[in-house]
A = this chain, B = another copy of it.
Amino acid sequence: MKVLIVEDNAALTTIITTYLGRSGFVCEQVTDLKQALEKLYGFSYDIVLLDLTLPDGDGLTLLEQLKSKWSATGVLIMSAKNALDDRLKGLDMGADDYLPKPFHMAELNSRLKAIYRRRHQKGAVNLIFKEIMIQGETKQVELNNIVLDLTKKEFELLRYFMVNKNRLMTKQVIAEHLSGDYMDMADSFDFVYQHIKNIRRKIKDAGGQDYISTVYGGGYKMMES
């Protein structure tokens, strides 16, 4: 979890970095808007921790750029200007949260975690396909009120089918999704067979249909019709 701290008060930056480091954040520090942009162009961050009063301009101008160019990055504004006006302006412009100075490190910590969780909650929505339901919150899979005991890969594969229901997907696509990185033609995708087999078995054992249909030479799909 990478955080870019944009703050000109060096003492505060150090405290934040030290504290957050303990809780599982990797922090980088810049002191003005120009440096912030340089960092943003070169690396990717999960969250930008943005002070509004900076030596070379208003933090809100950076917020604007962040929202248009790096929409995947979360923004937490921290500012001594606790005017309601400023707070609203920041949130209106798309900041994820606003933290008035001074604040406790514990609060900063929990707000950052909240932002991160909110943005990474891919599966937070409940997914439903016929009798199967995936609860986003608990990541539990139910079929007719029976809880399926799936391994991580099995869960990810089933979820992938449900997100992409009615769409045919090749072994390659599935393999890339499960392994998490690019796979060459030269790679073997045969391990997909095993996971398909296991999901089918577990669904069958719980009394479900074979929801996954094989398309010879094409791949697999879950059809709703």
Q: Which residues of A contact B (CB under 8 A)?
A: 1, 21-26, 68-69, 71-72, 116-117, 120, 164, 167-173, 176, 180-182, 185, 217-219
A159 to chain B, nearest CB (A): 12
**Residues of B contacting A22 in the complex (Cβ-Cβ under 8 angstroms):** 170, 217-218
**What 10 A-B pairs come out closest when comparing CB atoms?**
A24-B172, A120-B182, A24-B173, A24-B170, A180-B180, A26-B173, A68-B69, A1-B176, A21-B168, A117-B182
- Report the Cα distance A27→B68, complex, angstroms: 25
A-B contact pairs, 19 of them (CB 8 A): A1-B173, A22-B217, A22-B218, A23-B172, A23-B185, A24-B170, A24-B172, A24-B173, A26-B164, A26-B167, A26-B169, A68-B68, A68-B69, A69-B69, A72-B72, A116-B182, A117-B182, A120-B181, A180-B180
- Give the residue name and chain of the B residue nearest to A72 (CB): B72
- Give the residue name and chain of the B residue nearest to A152 (CB): B179
- Report the Cα distance A54→B169, complex, angstroms: 29
**Residues of B contacting A164 in the complex (Cβ-Cβ under 8 angstroms):** 26
